[in-house]
Structure 1
Amino acid sequence: MFKDKTYKRCACKGPLTDKKGKQILNEDGTPKIGYLEKRCPMLKRRDHGSWYYSIEIPAGPGGKRRHPKKGGFKTQEQAAAAAAKVYRDAQAGVDVLSDETVGEYLRHWLDNQHDLKATTRNGYEDYLRLFFTPYLGHIKLRELRPRHIEEMFAAIQAENQVKAKNREKAQLAREAEKNAHVAWRDATAPRDPQLRKTWTEAKEALKAANALPRRDTGPATQHRIKMALSSALEDARKRRMITDNWAAMTQTPRIRKPKALEWTPARVEAWRTTGKKPSPVMVWTPQQTGTFLDSVVYDRLYPLWVVIAFLGLRRGEACALSWSEVDLDAGVIHITEEIVTIAYEPHEDTPKSDNIRDIALDEDTIALLRWWRERQQDEKEQWLEATGERNDTGRVFTLEDGTEYHPQYFSDRFERLYKKADVPPIRLHDLRHGSATLALRAGVAMVAVQRRLGHSSIRVTSDIYTTVLAEVEREAAEATVSVVPRSRKRVIPQPKGEAEAQVEQT
């Protein structure tokens, strides 16, 4: 169908002729020189020129005829195959003449996503600025293919290698600055001016090294980049702007989610020796949690640490918790909002995965929150008496003047307190993980733990706590056996003679 729509042309120049073969002249009577294109006599040679196609597709708005054209093919067969592909796409509704680029489409697509959470939108903006626009933005949307997306991820991997070297440079610069500082500090008076100069130069070198990009775009982030692009391209496919969702065909590195590990005595000893954590996600044992809580009982934010340690709130959920969502008479708190940070700026949002939930309270926590509410009221009266004004945010956890906390303050404060308590390091988010392990050890069903933590599915909960669950299951196995009373302590059968001798001895 398209063979007679293909033709050969080249970029040779020579005397031009009209359709009847008559030479075209300039105004002064000299032959007009221009591109010969299809009329070049050398086109009969196999290695001269290239093949093009020109086809007619369904008319556009107003009945205007449309003729897609493209060249640069080495053979007529390649040109014919490309023409057939374009024709099929056009018949499927794809605008094969559109010049809209991937960058233009993604910008328009993101601007029209009105239901995205603030953190999700901010992430998409970063992907558009850092990855999509630099690597894909110039490509026409209709010409996008999996290889273009694969090349983007290959470039990300190459950048990660550069960042690894930058981290090494920063570490060396940090050690050099530390050594230069120590040399200057420990020098006897009068100090050699060269020591101060060396320290100053080392500080400048460290500042320059820290300014280099060092944070990897890891497998999890690459997966989110792919899913964001896939979501946008799926919308384009449904609108018949493209034929396939090319991002869905692209592979990204496998995500290896860290498992929650407990700080066993052996792991604590190894950490004190090497300074290395066995896993990015570590949780305290019940004893370690108790040690921490006992050490912070007189900290002003003690109720906060208790709430996170036992109820498993995210820091943003604790930061946003309002007294209007706390029903101490019914013994329940309602998790309805969260404070998230975007470029360090706090924003109110719904909980992660939009998981609005209720969490039941134990009697001790109810009593602690009643005490905290009374103390907060006393602080309010004292502040008004001293200053005449006070912020009234209605939050459960606020500064003395009623101002709500920035979520990062909780993390920073927690780090200082656990170091002072001399317990192994965990993140504030790991204190939330610890609440789950405490519940599992207490025999709480997995589905109840999932609801309390606000996970999107029970699989998320089980994936995180696989290692801890194994320990809980061993404890359950021991508990099950201990229920049955036995007259013999030894449960492994022995030969009859040995058993009788043992009985006689006892």
Structure 2
Amino acid sequence: MLPEVETVRRKIKTRQDLTQDITVAAWLEEFLMRKRKIEETTRRSYEGHIRLYLTPYLGQLRLDQLKVSDISLMFEQIEEFNDTIAERRASPDPAVRASVKYRRPISITTMHNIRATLRHALNMAVRQDRLIDFNPAAVLEMPPKTRPKPLVWTEDRVRTWQADFREYRRTEKQRRSGRRVDPIDAYTSVPRPSPVMVWTPAQTRLFLEEAQRHRLFALYRLIALRGLRRGEACGLRWKEVDLDGQALTVNWQLVQLAWQVHEGTPKTDASVRTIALDAETVQVLRAHRQRQLQERLAAGSAWRDSGFVFTQPYGDRLHPQHVSDQFLWLAYLAGLPPIRLHDLRHGAASLMLAAGVEMKVVQETLGHTSSAFTADTYTSVYPQVATAAAEKTAALLLDDEDQTQPGKLISLRA
């Protein structure tokens, strides 16, 4: 059978072999082979998008015939499966619920990331190999990717969550015919007002009081007050900590990919930074070092001198997931509403802003690339930040000589 005229024209225009048809799956495999000089986390992300979504939905199509509608249909099918997951989870039939036990709905952010992987691969086909002359992924319209705003755990929100938590445990225990309900599973399963929640200063203090008895207390304090990322805290080495100078430098991080742990550089150039430490945190780190030396003596020849600040009892590096699991237990034992470990970093940003720290300083401490991102994410998380800003604005309208009379304003016609 002879090829279509338009197909021949396209292949001649893009200098392709007239006898060869390249599928989307074949090109995506070639794309991965060429992406050699990328971070391991980026590679895993590309591989996951291609294996789970792009190849199953689009792989059998010819690369030069891929249309915008094909990609749009893929996302429609993903959204349909999201609905299926929600329906099955709500089913009274245990077998139906079990069929989606380990399946999570695909968020709009993940869909944008899947499209970004495809767009990048197709751009390479356009620019480098000239296999196609148009990138359909580049013009596909998608719903806006909105970043969830952090919300603070106010008293009303805590009361509502506690009631939902008690009801969830009661329902689960009844469904399991009185068998034990895993407390952490219940603790993390009850919906929250926002995917990103922040503790109040008082709640953070309660957590640190509970964590003080744990051997990783210094790690949690660094995240809570200085906003280190989990991987940055796990990857911190003693040679990067200057206790006398009250500072530490972030140069490395431990990255968890599936269950494997890899050591790599921080997320961006801005993430490589020096962070000032308060006097109390320095004392906590000194105490942590003494405890680590005692563990080294107790381990004897079994000790592994990894050089990390935070280690397992025998000196090996920590697994990041272990740090997250311990965090949830400590938060639960402290009687606090749940947040993710990464939300403790969000809390650090909010604490700094509530304390009046300049936005630029907060940005540099957190390792953000721009202060605009920091401001957009964290401004007015705590009510007192917004209240203080309102009071400062109103104060500008007061006559200098009448600062003691809050009700008397300057005449704007003077």
Q: TM-score, normalised by structure 1?
A: 0.69
Query: What SS does the corresponding residue of 2:90 show, helix, strand or coil?
Result: helix
2: CA distance, partners of 1:158 / 1:232: 25
For residue 116 of structure 2, what is the aligned residue in structure 1? Answer: 227
Question: Which deviates further from its counterpart, 264-273 or 460-469?
Answer: 460-469
1: CA distance, partners of 2:102 / 2:8: 43
Distance change (3 Å), C-alpha of 1:247 and 1:332: same
For residue 128 of structure 1, what is the aligned residue in structure 2? Answer: 50
CA contact (8 A) 2:89 2:100 kept: no
CA contact (8 A) 1:166 1:213 kept: no
Query: What SS does the corresponding residue of 2:342 show, helix, strand or coil?
Result: helix
For residue 170 of structure 2, what is the aligned residue in structure 1? Answer: none
CA contact (8 A) 1:399 1:405 kept: yes
For residue 24 of structure 2, what is the aligned residue in structure 1? Answer: 102
Question: Which deviates further from its counterpart, 292-301 or 238-247?
Answer: 292-301
CA contact (8 A) 1:166 1:212 kept: no
1:70 Cα deviation after fit:
2.9
Residue 151, structure 1, aligned to residue 41, structure 2: no
For residue 70 of structure 1, what is the aligned residue in structure 2? Answer: 3
For residue 274 of structure 1, what is the aligned residue in structure 2? Answer: 164
CA contact (8 A) 2:250 2:274 kept: yes
2: CA distance, partners of 1:480 / 1:368: 39
User: What code does the residue aligned with 1:247 have?
Assistant: A
Query: What SS does the corresponding residue of 2:302 show, helix, strand or coil?
Result: coil
2: CA distance, partners of 1:470 / 1:157: 36
For residue 367 of structure 1, what is the aligned residue in structure 2? Answer: 283
User: What code does the residue aligned with 1:157 have?
Assistant: E
CA contact (8 A) 1:260 1:464 kept: yes
For residue 264 of structure 1, what is the aligned residue in structure 2? Answer: 154
For residue 337 of structure 1, what is the aligned residue in structure 2? Answer: 252
1: CA distance, partners of 2:294 / 2:3: 79
For residue 298 of structure 2, what is the aligned residue in structure 1? Answer: 382
- Greater relative contact order (Cα < 8 A, sep 6+): 2
In the TM superposition, what whole-angstrom CA distance separates every residue of 1:270-292 from its partner, at most 9, and x where no partner exists? 22233442111111111111122
For residue 104 of structure 2, what is the aligned residue in structure 1? Answer: 215
Q: What aligned pairs does 1:318-329 form with structure 2 within 5 A after superposition?
A: 318-329=233-244
In the TM superposition, what whole-angstrom CA distance separates every residue of 1:23-60 from its partner, at most 9, and x where no partner exists? xxxxxxxxxxxxxxxxxxxxxxxxxxxxx9xxxxxxxx
Question: Which deviates further from its counterpart, 477-486 or 112-121?
Answer: 477-486
Q: TM-score, normalised by structure 2?
A: 0.84
Runs of 5+ in structure 2 lacking a partner? 166-190, 410-414
1:115 Cα deviation after fit:
2.2
1:313 Cα deviation after fit:
0.9
For residue 353 of structure 2, what is the aligned residue in structure 1? Answer: 440
For residue 184 of structure 2, what is the aligned residue in structure 1? Answer: none
Q: What aligned pairs does 1:279-294 form with structure 2 within 5 A after superposition?
A: 279-294=194-209
Distance change (3 Å), C-alpha of 1:211 and 1:162: closer
1:262 Cα deviation after fit:
1.1
1:86 Cα deviation after fit:
4.9
Runs of 5+ in structure 1 lacking a partner? 1-51, 53-68, 72-81, 175-204, 494-506
User: What code does the residue aligned with 2:362 have?
Assistant: V
Question: Which deviates further from its counterpart, 87-96 or 441-450?
Answer: 87-96
Query: What SS does the corresponding residue of 2:316 show, helix, strand or coil?
Result: coil
CA contact (8 A) 1:261 1:467 kept: no
Count of equivalent residues: 379
For residue 183 of structure 1, what is the aligned residue in structure 2? Answer: none
1:256 Cα deviation after fit:
2.5
1:165 Cα deviation after fit:
2.0
User: What code does the residue aligned with 2:209 have?
Assistant: D
Distance change (3 Å), C-alpha of 1:323 and 1:229: same
In the TM superposition, what whole-angstrom CA distance separates every residue of 1:173-205 from its partner, at most 9, and x where no partner exists? 56xxxxxxxxxxxxxxxxxxxxxxxxxxxxxx4
2: CA distance, partners of 1:98 / 1:292: 63
For residue 430 of structure 1, what is the aligned residue in structure 2? Answer: 343
Residue 246, structure 1, aligned to residue 131, structure 2: no
CA contact (8 A) 2:312 2:318 kept: yes
CA contact (8 A) 2:255 2:263 kept: yes
CA contact (8 A) 1:146 1:249 kept: yes
Distance change (3 Å), C-alpha of 1:142 and 1:449: same
1:139 Cα deviation after fit:
1.7
The Cα RMSD (Å) is 2.5
CA contact (8 A) 2:200 2:382 kept: no
Query: What SS does the corresponding residue of 1:251 show, helix, strand or coil?
Result: coil
User: What code does the residue aligned with 2:391 have?
Assistant: E
User: What code does the residue aligned with 2:194 have?
Assistant: S
For residue 312 of structure 2, what is the aligned residue in structure 1? Answer: 399
Distance change (3 Å), C-alpha of 1:397 and 1:391: same
CA contact (8 A) 2:88 2:100 kept: no
CA contact (8 A) 1:259 1:467 kept: no
Query: What SS does the corresponding residue of 2:268 show, helix, strand or coil?
Result: helix
Question: Which deviates further from its counterpart, 408-417 or 456-465?
Answer: 456-465
Distance change (3 Å), C-alpha of 1:88 and 1:482: closer
Question: Which deviates further from its counterpart, 264-273 or 244-253?
Answer: 264-273
2: CA distance, partners of 1:391 / 1:166: 48
In the TM superposition, what whole-angstrom CA distance separates every residue of 1:130-189 from its partner, at most 9, and x where no partner exists? 1121222122212222122122212212221222223223xx456xxxxxxxxxxxxxxx
1:433 Cα deviation after fit:
0.5
1:334 Cα deviation after fit:
1.4
CA contact (8 A) 2:119 2:138 kept: yes
